[in-house]
Structure 1
Amino acid sequence: MANRILLVTSSILGEQGQSNALASHLRQRVAERDELSLTHRDLAVESLPHLGLEELSSWQVAAEGRSAEQQVLAERSDRLIEEMQAHDVLVLAVPMYNFGIPSQLKAWFDRVMRAGVTFRYTEQGPEGLVNGKRAVILAARGGQYAGTELDTQTPHLKAMLGMIGIDDVSVVYAEGLAMGEGRRDAALKEARQAIDGLVAGL
């Protein structure tokens, strides 16, 4: 039974962020279960720089051949991948910024999606190397986008997760959060109930 959860948040709004509110609800529910453990990585607090050529190049050098600078750069990605691999369930709390994911979260994916480490290319196409894990996306949006062509987030996230081998992906939507108090409260209540069900199944 899965019991180790890695929660990755990326809202720049801190306690005011609705995706962070969903993440907080999940943490509360997990804390009620002794058999579950949770690690929280807040990418807005501990932000990652955009991926640059020097860091990318450090991955192409064998560990024993890296310079001191390359070792530091490569260790950033190594650490994030090791953290992800050490958990059973990956939970991404994701706000929608201009129809996309936060750049902070993209910078995290840029480090954990590494050819030869978390996926590889074969004659049959790419093959994910992160096995036996599931993911949950907690998606908070001001508007109503799920199931429409404006929801570029969900396909993007599922594609990146699938690339590294995580195909078991559940999505909890809290939408219409900027479309009136009544709609917001109803959406958040429904999302919290969905989170309760997901945590109960872990």
Structure 2
Amino acid sequence: MNILQINSSARSNGSESTRLADAIVARLAAEGNADIVRRDLAADPHPVLDEAALQALFTPADQRTPAQAARVALDDALIAQAQAADVIVIGAPMYNFGITVQLKSWFDAIARAGVTFKYGPTGPVGLLTGKKVYVAVTRGGLHKDAPSDTQLPHLRTFLAFVGLTDVQFVFSEGHGLGADAVARARADAEDQINAVLA
């Protein structure tokens, strides 16, 4: 089993979403025969999608400058990791009611027409199929099933867009509400992991 872990916190150390993603990966790896690739988007940030990147992506491969080819190759590497994975585990903290810029850059990198999605007669068709996805969602407040949760619809929509429809979310909320709330959140998240990986 090839496991790809994406850590999207802005912090390389002390991140609750990374801790939770680590716990999910450890449980998956305990089943044996696991090859784990970890991508820490804080320690190894991916460049944002800017005008230069767009120009590189929309220039035919045989006409790209060396700089353009190098920029596209960065995205190619992330796409290859996603394609090779049987299971993808994403640590996704909520920042200001949404996903982090680190995760958005990863999303922008792996969304490529004709490679990870295509447009058919009835609309987009995701091409990253046949994979299981676990998303460790962490928040400082309490947002699950509330109007303030604008993060979850974004995650669901994007993942489905590229064909990742077998998705299980594990929530850990209330980390800004004191030590007792953190303890409850961690215990609840552990129960969720036990349930989804039973």
- Contact preservation (8 Å) 1:15, 1:21: no
Distance in 2, matches of 1:170 and 1:33, equals: 18
TM-score, length-scaled by structure 1: 0.91
Q: Does structure 1 conserve the Cα–Cα contact (< 8 Å) formed by 2:116 and 2:127?
A: yes
Name structure 1 gaps, 5 residues minimum.
none
Alignment of 1:94-109 (within 5 A): 94-109=92-107
**Aligned pairs (5 A) from 1:18-167:** 18-167=16-165
Question: Which amino acid is the alignment partner of residue 123 of structure 1?
Answer: P
Where structure 2 has 5 or more consecutive residues not aligned to the other structure, the ranges are none
Letter in 2 for 1:99: F
Deviation at 1:196, TM superposition (A): 3.8
- Per the TM alignment, residue 193 of structure 1 is displaced from its structure 2 partner at its CA by 3.0
CA contact (8 A) 2:142 2:174 kept: yes
Alignment-mate amino acid for residue 49 of structure 2: L
Question: What SS does the corresponding residue of 1:15 show, helix, strand or coil?
Answer: coil
Query: Hey, what's the Cα distance between the residues in 1 that align with 2:124 and 2:29?
Result: 37
Question: In 2, distance between residues paired with 1:57 and 1:29?
Answer: 42
TM-score by length of 2: 0.93
Measured at CA, do residues 66 and 14 of structure 1 come closer, stay the same or move farther in structure 2, by a change above 3 Å? closer
Which of 1, 11, 14 aligns to 2:9? It is: 11
Range that drifts further, 152-161 or 66-75: 66-75
- Per-residue CA deviation, residues 143-184 of structure 1 (Å, 9 max, x unaligned), is 110111111111101101111111111100001122232221
Query: 1:39 deviation in Å?
Result: 1.1
2: CA distance between counterparts of 1:158 and 1:63?
A: 32
In 1: Cα distance, 2:48 partner to 2:10 partner: 16
Shift of 1:198: 3.7
Task: Evaluate the alpha carbon distance shift between residue 130 and residue 28 of structure 1 in structure 2; reply closer, same or farther with a 3 A threshold.
Answer: closer
Aligned-residue CA RMSD (Å): 1.6
Cα distance in 1, alignment partners of residues 14 and 72 from structure 2: 34
Q: Which secondary structure does the structure 1 equivalent of 2:70 belong to?
A: helix
Indicate conservation of the 8 Å contact 2:17/2:136, yes or no: yes
Change in CA separation of 1:94 and 1:14 when aligned onto 2, cut-off 3 Å: same
Shift of 1:61: 2.8
Distance 1:9 1:176 in 2: 20
Question: Residue 107 of structure 2 aligns to which amino acid in structure 1?
Answer: F
Which moved further from structure 2: 61-70 or 146-155? 61-70
Q: Which moved more, 1:160-169 or 1:119-128?
A: 119-128
Residues in 2 aligned to 1:43 and 1:126: alpha-carbon distance in whole angstroms: 27
Distance in structure 2 (CA, Å) of the matches to 1:40 and 1:196: 22
What is the count of residue pairs matched by the alignment? 198
Name the % identity.
37
Q: Matches of 1:165 and 1:68 in 2, distance apart?
A: 31
Structure 1 ranges of 4+ moved more than 6 A:
none
